[in-house]
Amino acid sequence: MYYPLKPDNMDSIVSHYAREGFVVLTEVEDAFTDEFTNIVAHKGSLTSQEKDLLGKSGKIDLSPEQIQALKRIDVTSELSNLCLDVIGDILLKLLGPIIHTSRDFHFQFKKDNERREILKGYSEDGVEIQALYGIHNEFTAARILVSPSGLVCWVPLNTYEGCALNLFPGTHRRGLLTNRWLSKNEIGRADMGAPVKYYPRRGEIVLFHFMTMHGSGTSHGQNPVDGIRASCDIRFFPFCGIIDSEPTCLVANPIEWIRERIDQGMDEVLLAPLNETLAFYGERIKSENTRQHSVLSWAEFIRHWLAGNEQEALEAIARLVNTQQGFDTLESYQKRFTQIQLYERPFSTLGIPVPRQDLVK
């Protein structure tokens, strides 16, 4: 799962991500991790000595005020551009030619013997910086729905002996297993297998799919790992009409680019964000024989929802959701997903028409 971030490795990186639902990039240029560290140091008013420690052992004490200042950090256009410079070529292959960067990123600062656990989503009180996260997929764990093809870019700020993330391989291909956060004791029935454990190293980046089940890791040993692990996580989405955000277009003719790529044939995990873009553009998508539990069903949902085909939209959700092995009722997803609304901004930024003005917030 480890690949140096080099042009020669592009195909291996993309196919590992598509198959397993995550990939780790190594040998990432220092400027990338340094920039996240600088922003955290600035927001949290760290002294230069504390900043240095953050990047090494993580051993600094954060005051309640600093935690408040660090709980959600705005993504500036400079940071977004830096990310696109460093991993834009990969994002183009994983998400397609039009990319949204999340408006904020999360800072995490966790100890191995931490007892607090987040099972009800982000409380906005700053606890989420230090508490362990229960098991979730990023798509339904977030308050605001964006896209199941979104991607988390998790950036370790220091090297740490313990496990930071548990990632359940292949779960992004098993349909939506949960509409909420789960505790470790709960997950048995989903039969997700053993997680892959990620041990953070500064200079790496983990990319994982929004449907990949994951949670915070710990060693849970008698002897907790010393130090604190510090990281930042930022998200990227394919073109999305249901968030109030400005996308960046990476190619001159996105629809032509998508059509050419689809003609070459591709894995459904990579096809899904392209179909989703086509659906928001009001373009034709091929959707015969979509497999039960395939992420491809989301684009079909968007297409039917935009066309006002309520029944077909609900059926597309039913294909995406895995109620046999999952934890929540189909109705809970249907109720949530049909409450989405369009925003002007993603469309107006690209100068394309909003497909249905009556659905605009």
Ligand X SMILES: O=C(O)CCC(=O)C(=O)O
> Residues in the site for Fe ion, rule: CB under 5 A?
138
Residue 102 or 275: the one with the smaller Cβ distance to ligand X is 102
Residue 216 or 297: the one with the smaller Cβ distance to ligand X is 216
Residue 197 or 259: the one with the smaller Cβ distance to Fe ion is 197
Alpha-carbon span 310 to 161, nearest angstrom: 51
Residue 99 or 152: the one with the smaller Cβ distance to ligand X is 152
| 87: partner contacted, choices Fe ion, ligand X, none (Cβ within 5-8 A by kind) | none
Report which secondary-structure segment, H or E, holds 178. none
Least distance (Å) between residue 174 CB and Fe ion: 17
| 234: partner contacted, choices Fe ion, ligand X, none (Cβ within 5-8 A by kind) | none
Least distance (Å) between residue 106 CB and Fe ion: 9
Q: Which residues bind ligand X (CB under 6 A)?
A: 108, 110, 133, 138, 152, 154, 164, 214, 216, 231, 233
Residue 5 or 213: the one with the smaller Cβ distance to Fe ion is 213
| 32: partner contacted, choices ligand X, Fe ion, none (Cβ within 5-8 A by kind) | none
Residue 67 or 164: the one with the smaller Cβ distance to ligand X is 164
Residues 218/162, Cβ–Cβ less than 8 Å: yes
Residue 211 or 354: the one with the smaller Cβ distance to Fe ion is 211
Least distance (Å) between residue 320 CB and Fe ion: 19
| 40: partner contacted, choices ligand X, Fe ion, none (Cβ within 5-8 A by kind) | none
Instruction: Report the relative pairing of strands 151-156 and 117-118 from DSSP bridges.
Output: unpaired
| 154: partner contacted, choices Fe ion, ligand X, none (Cβ within 5-8 A by kind) | ligand X
Alpha-carbon span 120 to 117, nearest angstrom: 9
Report which secondary-structure segment, H or E, holds 30. helix 30-43
Q: Rounded to a whole number, what is the distance in angstroms from the first to the last CA of the chain?
A: 41
Main-chain phi, psi angles of 345, to 5 degrees? -50, -45
| 146: partner contacted, choices Fe ion, ligand X, none (Cβ within 5-8 A by kind) | none
Least distance (Å) between residue 278 CB and ligand X: 27
| 294: partner contacted, choices Fe ion, ligand X, none (Cβ within 5-8 A by kind) | none
Least distance (Å) between residue 278 CB and Fe ion: 27
Instruction: Quickly count: other Cβ atoms within 10 Å of residue 117's Cβ.
Output: 16
Q: Residue written as tokens 């949960």?
A: 178
Question: CB under 8 Å to 106, separation ≥6 — which residues?
Answer: 71, 72, 73, 128, 129, 232, 233
Least distance (Å) between residue 135 CB and ligand X: 9
Which residue, judged by CB position, is nearest to Fe ion in the bound state? 138
Q: Which residues of 307-324 are buried (b: 16+ CB within 10 A; e: fewer)?
A: eeeeeebbbbbbbbbbbe
Residue spans of beta strands (DSSP E) within the chain: 2-4, 22-26, 73-74, 98-101, 104-111, 117-118, 132-133, 151-156, 165-167, 196-198, 205-209, 214-216, 228-238, 248-249
Question: CB under 8 Å to 44, separation ≥6 — which residues?
Answer: 62, 66, 69, 70, 107
Residues 146/157, Cβ–Cβ less than 8 Å: no
| 216: partner contacted, choices Fe ion, ligand X, none (Cβ within 5-8 A by kind) | ligand X
Least distance (Å) between residue 287 CB and ligand X: 29
Residue 35 or 233: the one with the smaller Cβ distance to ligand X is 233
Alpha-carbon span 290 to 304, nearest angstrom: 15
Least distance (Å) between residue 254 CB and Fe ion: 28
